[in-house]
Amino acid sequence: MNHQNPIEVSQQFVEIGQQLYTLVTKGSTIARQSQQGWYQFVARLLTDGTVFDGVQRPLTEAVALYNQHQSPTVTLETVQYYLAAKVVRAVKLEPEALANQWYFICDGTEIPNPGDFITVHIFQEPVVAIRQGDGSMQVFLNVCPHRQCLVFERNGCIKGGKSELCPYHGWAFSEEGHCTNAPGANRGEFGEDFDLKDYSLRSFETRIDSNQGVFARLIANGDGDEPITTMPPADIQVKGQNIGVAIANLLQDVSPGYTEGIIPSLPEPIRLWIKIGYLGEQLKHVVAGIAQRQGLTAEAVLSSVSLECNTEPDPNRDLLLESVMRELRQALLMVEAETISFKLEDILDDIKQTQISDLCFGADGSSLSSSEATTDEPEQNRRIALPIWTYGDWDLFALEIEHLIAPTWQFVCHVNEIPQPHQYTWLDIVGERAYVIRSANGDLFAGKLKHIDGRKQGPDFEGPRDYGLDPIDIEVFYGFVFIRLLRQGPSLKEIWHQPGLLDPYNLEEMQPIGGSSGQYDISVEVDYKLLWENFLEDYHFPMMHKGLTLRFGVSSDCEGINGMIIPMRDPASPKLNPVERKYYDCAKTLARHDWEREKELQRFAAEHQFLPETLCYSAFCSMAAQEEMPMPFSLSVFPEHVQTFSIVPGGPRESRFHVRSYGHRMPPNAAEADVIKAAQLANIQLLAESLQEDIRVNYITQDSVSSQLFEKLGVFSIAEWDVAKFQEAVQMNIPVTSSPRKPPKIVNL
């Protein structure tokens, strides 16, 4: 970014973030009062902006000032829609608040024909209304019982008795909400006890009033005779859309990090500035809430916070406070220090001076409430999934840092990225900056920043041997450098699955493939567990990655993707696009042996978990055994290069894809150099396209797991075995994640 007036621009967006918190609190209050008021509130967010009150004018000015110094520019509508989506995603009503109310879904004329459907959001609940074959109407919870993705998107029609396919794994559902097919079920891949009848969509009691308004009762605790008292908000529209439809579309369109959305991605600096303002204001209210409940000063509350990993039970900890503090630190680390004047100490000093009586407490000002705790024992069945409350939960995230993230090895770089003395790089993760430094004698050192406000200065090469950092664990594995925040646990060599497959590739000698195509980071507002579970299986490939499925022979009858060798399809499919065809042709040109030898190597690897030479027509993923360490990192090994893929947690709904590509250095005049480079570039482009496909579906899944009404536990196929092992490790390390409902209070284990 051009740094002319950067602090002025950032300051304005930070203030907008502070006001955004106020909007969330206001929206939560309105939502608890009525659907009508909530719809009016969101409509104003999306149209005239009057609900922004003091935000709209500075927002217009901030966008204009940003555009003076930045290219490409950003539109006011893009930022405004992002803020609106943040408000909608933050507002949640507990199930008891939804009981015995009739909620307006749509006008019957919006779906006039049999099979027509329309999707809306009722607060955090995604629902779909479908016109039945007999002309009646039925409303369902729009959450797939398999892995909790939305089934129906926007509006459309199920024609001729066909089914609608879930965009994630292709589970099929009829207009009556029945599950008609789960890919692999007919081959027994879900177990002998699996029955499609158990996986219908949840239906709601539905009525149509005299004006053709369609209403649904989401929770019925009475006798069912309650009259419809809600006024249909038919006059509340956005760009000619039913406001409930507009909200559903908004959530699909606003996906930071996803480049193909209708609403373009928000520039990362703006997103982070807004986040800093929002989290600073949220932290202020959380601290004030604790101080008020416990009769303490704000300074005393802040002084009691320790972000050092604590393995001893402490019922007095406030996990929400720790999580908000962590995510605020992470946002400050990630934003360019030159573009913002805010320091963490300044934010904390401001909170200490706040008069608690001046604050009103809202959505985030007190510990999150939830349904009553359950003491049901989880089924001792490895195929049963984590309950959806565990995705994006503030309180839980503090425990995840302590028991999953800090004890886990995190990828930083390759040794050849910092070959010279005093060269260094770093990783920002859960509010910590971890440096990897090449020392004067050639060794590698890892340490974390003691104070994040010192991030401008970096390591102190003139000072003590630890460079002014707190030392942390470091390990080099096949040339790849990992750090660990908590200095305990097994080495990578002890937990890696089938490392012998990597031996012939000489990974230690590889060099980074430069440029934005070979090395990039993408921030997404999704729980890191959802993202990693997506990567851990290929069951979704036929539905989501049709191009990848055309190139490689994906099989669903294997127990997970870790170490599974996936061969290229030969002969090539005639449906390959030009880039896919280019990669296939390059691979054939570079091959050093024929297909018979390739098959021999595949059989040898399956028997011995070792490869005597590299593969020429196949790829595989190599990672830690998830039951040993739930580590969100994988090496994708291809004939011409390898790609490291890691997911860096930043908050309960904040993650970053950290993607790097490496290949062997080729003499410029080597006969195969141009072909290898062409193969690398083609494959890297195709992998980036697949990642965008994953991001889109993970956003809509994150929104659907916010539902408070989904009661099932998902189920796994054989092809999702690594997901099951990952979730088993989560439950073993944090037992509360086995509870179907979030307990009223989560304490340290």
pLDDT for 239 beyond 90: no
Pair 561, 717: CB distance under 8 Å: no
pLDDT value at position 380? Answer: 42
Class of 102-229 in CATH:
mainly beta
pLDDT value at position 382? Answer: 43
C-alpha torsion sign, points 304, 310, 313, 315: positive
Pair 710, 258: CB distance under 8 Å: no
Angstrom distance (rounded) from CA 298 to CA 302: 6
pLDDT value at position 71? Answer: 79
pLDDT for 156 beyond 50: yes
DSSP annotation of 403: I
Pair 547, 580: CB distance under 8 Å: yes
CA terminus-to-terminus distance, the chain: 45
The answer for residues whose C-beta is within 8 angstroms of residue 666's C-beta and 6 or more apart is 672, 673, 676, 677
What distance separates the 2 farthest-apart alpha carbons in the chain? Answer: 83
Q: Which pLDDT band, with edges at 50, 70 and 90, does 409 fall under? A: very high
DSSP one-letter string for 638-687: -SS-EEEEEEEEEETTEEEEEEEEEE----TT-TTHHHHHHHHHHHHHHH
> What average pLDDT does the structure give for the chain?
88
pLDDT for 229 beyond 70: no
Phi, psi of 321 (to 5 degrees): -60, -45
pLDDT value at position 96? Answer: 87
DSSP annotation of 175: T
H-run or E-run covering 492: helix 492-495
- Domain assignments of the chain as residue spans, ordered by start: 6-94+260-369, 102-229, 408-488, 501-710
**In this predicted model, what pLDDT tens digit does every residue of 514-560 receive, in sequence order?**
877 889 999 999 999 999 999 999 899 999 999 888 998 876 656 66
Angstrom distance (rounded) from CA 726 to CA 663: 29
Pair 392, 653: CB distance under 8 Å: yes
pLDDT for 337 beyond 70: no
pLDDT for 434 beyond 50: yes
pLDDT value at position 373? Answer: 38
Q: Any alpha helices (H) in 510-594, and if so which ranges?
A: 515-518, 528-535, 541-544, 546-551, 578-590
Asked if the domains at 102-229 and 408-488 fall in one CATH topology, the answer is yes
The correct CATH number of 501-710 out of 1.10.150.20, 3.20.20.80, 3.30.530.20, 1.10.540.10 is 3.30.530.20
pLDDT for 512 beyond 70: yes
Residue type, 175: E
Pair 466, 421: CB distance under 8 Å: no
Angstrom distance (rounded) from CA 450 to CA 583: 46
Average pLDDT estimate for 293-318? 82
Residue type, 682: A
pLDDT value at position 338? Answer: 62
Average pLDDT estimate for 737-748? 83
pLDDT value at position 70? Answer: 81
Phi, psi of 216 (to 5 degrees): -135, 145
The residues that bridge with 620 in the sheet, in sequence order, are 565, 637
Angstrom distance (rounded) from CA 24 to CA 398: 22
**Number of Cβ within a 10 Å radius of residue 519:** 18
Pair 556, 571: CB distance under 8 Å: no
Residue type, 27: G
**In this predicted model, what pLDDT tens digit does every residue of 167-215 receive, in sequence order?**
999 999 999 999 999 999 999 888 888 999 999 999 999 999 888 899 9
**Number of Cβ within a 10 Å radius of residue 469:** 22
Pair 103, 35: CB distance under 8 Å: yes
Q: Which pLDDT band, with edges at 50, 70 and 90, does 104 fall under? A: very high
pLDDT value at position 486? Answer: 92
Of 444, 432, 236, the residue nearest 333 (C-alpha): 432
DSSP one-letter string for 181-228: E-TTGGGTTT-TT--GGGGPPPEEEEEE-TT-EEEEESB--S-S----
**In this predicted model, what pLDDT tens digit does every residue of 634-666 receive, in sequence order?**
999 999 999 999 999 999 999 999 999 999 998
Q: Of 69 and 265, which is predicted with more confidence? A: 69
Pairing of strands 432-438, 444-448: antiparallel
pLDDT value at position 377? Answer: 42
**In this predicted model, what pLDDT tens digit does every residue of 557-574 receive, in sequence order?**
566 677 788 999 989 999
Question: Hunting for tokens 């009556």 — which residue is that?
Answer: 176
pLDDT for 421 beyond 50: yes
Class of 408-488 in CATH:
mainly beta
3-class SS shares of the chain: helix, strand, coil, % to 5: 40, 20, 40
- Side-by-side strand order, sheet with 480-484: 410-414, 480-484, 473-477
